[in-house]
Amino acid sequence: MDELLLEQKAQAIRRDIIEMLYRCQSGHPGGSLSCVEILMALYYEVAHVDPTNPSWEMRDRIVLSKGHGCPALYAILADKGFFPRNDLWNLRQIGSHLQGHPDMRKTPGIDVSTGSLGQGASVAVGLALAAKYKRAPYHVYVVLGDGEIQEGMVWEATMSAAHYKLDNLIFILDHNGLQIDGTNDQVMSLGDIIGKFHSFGFECKKVDGHNVDMLVKAISEPVPGKPLFVLAETVKGRGISFMENNVGWHGKPMKTEEYTQAMCELKGTQNV
Amino acid sequence: MFESKSLRVAYGEALAELGSIDQKVVVLDADLSYATMTSIFASKFPDRFFNFGLAEANMMGAAAGFAHSGLLPFVSTFALFGVGRAYEQIRNSIAYPNANVKFGLSHSGLSVGEDGASHQSIEDIALMRVLPGMTILVPCDPFETRKAVFAAASLDGPVYIRVARPIVEVITNEDSTFTIGKANIMRKPGDVCIVATGLMVKEALAAAERLSLHGIKAGVINMHTIKPIDAELILEMASQCRAMVTAEEHSIIGGLGSAVAEVLVGKSNIKFARVGIQDKFGRSGKPEDLFKAYGLTADDIAQQCIMLLE
């Protein structure tokens, strides 16, 4: 996809996120908006998936471990044709297959049920180990939140990924610097994130998390014998001026005037 | 083949046997393979054995990943560290998506003995029982342990096999049936019906012998499946007997006794009592001394029966 098209696509996905979250008056705008380009890089450029056959055995696996960012994932899956786009407007409603957090048993295209932070990383280790055992060539991509890596389980997963030399496993950190109670540094300092993953045995890279091309380049260059860690520097609430870098927009419902302004700001480019 | 054997050895041998039949079987352990006896499988199939070190939470998540990939993971560690420490991982990554993961968790109950309360899992049945879709098997002897492994493997969905540590005499035989959800009648009921599980089945049989000396006819049900519980048989027994006593090596809260009570309530007026650990932590000691101290012996069961019938 060329640069202009990617930009238009990102705008369209952000509009769908705002629409979904405004309609259901719940959910997590900040962390959904920060991981849009990461998920775009995976679903439009890197990963091999088939919307007509979501359970295709040789597909690449994508695990949104920061499950609360799922509005971004749902918008992309709908755009890819995994399910009708109209389903998006029933997010979080009773009877909808689009749960508040990703559910692999309800939504076509979801590989792992997530939502309880940290667990996606470990499930991904199992997926990657199983691929090795089956001698299957697919990759396992995991999108983690920065607050999420405070979970001890993430480091258990990290240690085991290096131990088993899982070079088919790629962790991508959506590092927007904010979590529910404040900045990472206010709540629980993450310290030298790259240094930590490096010392655990990962190959590490750092990129602009809103630049699809750079993300694609970083994600597509795994190193034999080592799992890969990509630190994607992002902005929480990216694309909506009053949400950007604002800790209050982790999980707040939008008022009508906020919704109108958000949609106005996202109208900069045409519908795709 | 009639020798006494530790249930964990029976478990390890059964896993290795299953592994030789089914390439999809993989085994995960958390640095306890020589205690859970998954080491037997590991030495036969090193490429299908995965040690996760002392990281039970990660191991449970990884087990889900194996299951989502079409493999058949058996996860082993001590019951307390599997069910207890990694409970939320079991809940959200395995039970909620109904992942086909089997838990063979050993060193359950007070019979761990000398290691003491920190290692004695007396609440695991309660924790696992409240998870929708979880199947819970508590084998009473080596034969049943082997059958539980094979039955679990042929069922789609999470199954918890509760394995005890001690060496156990054989009380069933190679040919006795083992169907998940169908309890076995070990001794025909008369005045009282004792519903027991795991190591307490042997105690229940001994209690029934003792009761017969007092002229009391006691039946013994081997409730090897705690979930789904065999409600049909419980109600049938309740209609035939004057009293019912449950016996388990677990807290009286949330385990077999609770499961049977849930079946009886509103449907039967039978006199009912539960033998189990009375809302207390365990402590160090020889298993037989602990069973005495915590009221889990054949005498304790017999006494409960007599009290109910009086």
Mutation to test the B interface, candidates A106, A122, A127, most B Cβ within 10 Å: A122
pLDDT tens digits for B30-44? Answer: 999 999 999 999 999
- The answer to whether the Cβ–Cβ distance between A130 and B65 falls below 8 Å is yes
- Which residues on chain A are in Cβ contact (under 8 Å) with B63? 126
Residue A157 with chain B: CB contacts under 8 Å: 58, 61-62
What is the spatial order of strands in the sheet that B243-251 belongs to? B184-187, B218-222, B192-196, B243-251, B271-277
Percent of chain A whose predicted confidence (pLDDT) is above 90: 96
CATH number (domain holding residue A11): 3.40.50.970
**Is residue B1 predicted with pLDDT exceeding 70?**
no
**How does pLDDT run across B156-196, given as a tens digit for each residue?**
999 999 999 998 999 999 999 999 999 999 999 899 999 99
pLDDT of A3 = 87
Count how many Cα atoms sit within 13 Å of the Cα of residue B29 in the half-sphere of its side chain: 21
Number of domains in chain A: 1
- For chain B, the structural domain boundaries read 5-168, 184-309
pLDDT at residue B4 in the model: 85
How many angstroms away from the CA of B25 is the closest CA of chain A?
Answer: 11
Coil, helix or strand for A82? coil
B88 in active site? no
Q: How far apart are CA A8 and CA A159, in angstroms?
A: 39
Q: Quick check: A119 and B89 in contact, CB under 8 A?
A: yes
B29 and B15 Cβ atoms separated by less than 8 Å: no
**What's the number of CA atoms in the CB half-sphere (13 Å) around residue A193?**
28
Q: Name which of A159, A194, A174 is nearest A235 in CA terms.
A: A174
Inter-chain CB proximity B55 and A130 less than 8 Å: no
Indicate the pLDDT class of residue A216, thresholds 50, 70 and 90.
very high
Residues of B in Cβ contact (< 8 Å) with A160: 52-53, 55, 58, 62
Q: Which two tokens stand for residue A183?
A: 């900045």
Q: What is the pLDDT of residues A68-117, one digit of tens each?
A: 999 999 999 999 999 999 999 999 999 999 999 999 999 999 999 999 99
For B245-277, write each residue's pLDDT tens digit: 999 999 999 999 999 999 999 999 999 999 999
Q: What is the pLDDT of residue A221?
A: 86
Helix H or strand E segment including A213: helix A212-219
Q: Give the pLDDT confidence score for residue A267 in this predicted structure.
A: 83
> Which of B2, B41, B13 shows the shortest CA–CA distance to B145?
B13
Q: Nearest to residue B94, comparing CAs of B125, B122, B56, B126? A: B56
Confidence of residue A271 (pLDDT cuts 50, 70, 90): very low
Per-window interface: A 98-127 vs B, CB < 8 A? 103-105, 111-113, 115-116, 118-127
What integer pLDDT is reported at residue A268 of this predicted model?
A: 55
Which of A119, A140, A164 best tests the B interface by mutation, with the highest count of B CBs <10 A? A119
Q: List the beta bridge partners of residue B272.
A: B244
DSSP per-residue string spanning chain B? ----EEHHHHHHHHHHHHHHH-TTEEEEESS-HHHHSTHHHHHH-GGGEEE--S-HHHHHHHHHHHHHTT-EEEEESBHIIIIIITHHHIIIIIITTT---EEEEBSBSGGGGGG-GGG-BSSHHHHHHTSTT-EEE---SHHHHHHHHHHHHTSSS-EEEE---SEE---S-TTS--BTTB-EEEE--SSEEEEE-TTHHHHHHHHHHHHHHTT--EEEEE--EEES--HHHHHHHHHH-SEEEEEEEEESSSSHHHHHHHHHTTT---EEEEEEE-S----SS-HHHHHHHTT-SHHHHHHHHHHHH-
Residue type, B80: L
Packing angle of the helix pair A70-80, A3-24 (nearest 10 deg) = 120
Q: Are A184 and A224 in contact (CB under 8 A)?
A: no
B94 chain-A contacts, CB cut-off 8 A: none
B5-168 has CATH 3.30.470.10 classification: no
Domain limits for position A57: 3-268
CA trace torsion A22, A24, A27, A32 (10° rounding) = -50
DSSP A222-242: -BTTB-EEEEEE--TTTT-TT
**Catalytic one of B13, B56, B144, B203:** B56
Whole-angstrom Cα distance, residue B123 to residue B216? 32
Burial group, residue B70, by CB count within 10 angstroms (0-12, 13-18, 19+)? exposed
Residue A132: how many CB atoms within 10 A of its CB? 16
Residue A18 CB neighbour total at 10 angstroms: 26
Residue A5 pLDDT > 60 = yes
User: How far apart are the CA of A162 and the nearest CA of chain B, in angstroms?
Assistant: 12
Q: What ipTM was reported for this prediction?
A: 0.95
Q: What is the pLDDT of residue B2?
A: 56
Q: What mean pLDDT is predicted for residues A199-205?
A: 98
In whole angstroms, give the CA distance from residue B86 to residue B7.
23
- Same CATH topology for B5-168 and B184-309: the answer is yes
DSSP label at A137? -
Note whether B102 and B153 are within 8 A (CB): yes
**In terms of DSSP bridges, do strands B135-137 and B225-227 run parallel, antiparallel, or are they unpaired?**
antiparallel
- DSSP-based three-state secondary structure for A160: helix
Closest CB to B61: pick one of A111, A125, A134: A125
pTM of the model: 0.96
Are the beta carbons of A104 and B66 separated by less than 8 Å?
no
The CATH classification of domain B184-309, taken from the options 3.40.50.1000, 2.40.50.140, 3.30.420.130, 3.40.50.920: 3.40.50.920
- Beta pairing, strands A178-179 & A182-183: antiparallel
Q: Is A184 an 8 Å CB contact of chain B?
A: no
Does position A272 have pLDDT exceeding 50, yes or no? no
Contact at 8 Å (CB) between A83 and A108?
Answer: yes
